[in-house]
Copies of this chain bind each other. A is one copy, B any other.
């Protein structure tokens, strides 16, 4: 990828939705190269607007990257919710399937969009409120206890352990991680085994 890009053309003097367009360009940059690649001037260039115009909509660089981070987190949450959940008669198995689907969605997103994934976490931008993906996980764990398959004594701190495992696996799988060179089949196998491991840690 060459540095910089040809400026886009615009027909009207006023853009109409510049703030949004700049964030979208920032998201695209993040997809291509992670947090480092979010460059205010380049985002403006891609939208076809002067760099200065960004300051009509964002206080400064951090304000823009913060907006990009919010979108990245949202995309992660959506990926987690989009994962299909196989149906089970047993309430316990159903709850486990739901939890597993969240993990699969998380890992799928991290692998498909490593740049955005990094932005959602690594970016030292204004840290948003408690994340929605965390809430999804907490709900799934509550369900596990409610269904009776998980001992309520194990509930405290469970989100930390589960999140750590899935998040850590994502880190190992993407970019230059130790598992990033594995073929598709081997990666899938590692993921399955690790999710089994998580299940065992919760309901032993």
Indicate if the CB atoms of B193 and A201 lie closer than 8 Å: no
Q: Dominant SS at the A interface?
A: helix
Measured CB to CB, the closest approach of chain B to A175, in angstroms, equals 8
In the assembly, how many copies of this chain are there?
2
Which of B161, B177, B194, B197 is close to A194, meaning CB atoms less than 8 Å apart? B161
Which residues of B are found within 8 Å of A197, using beta-carbon distances? 158, 161, 201-202
Q: Which residue of B lies closest to A189 (CB)?
A: B157
Given contacts A131-B178, A134-B178, A204-B204, contact A163 B156 (CB under 8 A): no
A190: CB under 8 A from chain B?
Answer: yes
Which residues of B are found within 8 Å of A198, using beta-carbon distances? 161, 201
What 7 new A-B contacts, CB under 8 Å, besides A163-B172, A168-B169? A130-B178, A156-B193, A160-B193, A164-B165, A164-B171, A167-B172, A171-B171
- Interface residues, chain A, with chain B CB atoms under 8 Å away: 121-122, 124, 127, 130-131, 134, 156-158, 160-161, 163-172, 175-179, 189-190, 193-194, 197-198, 200-202, 204
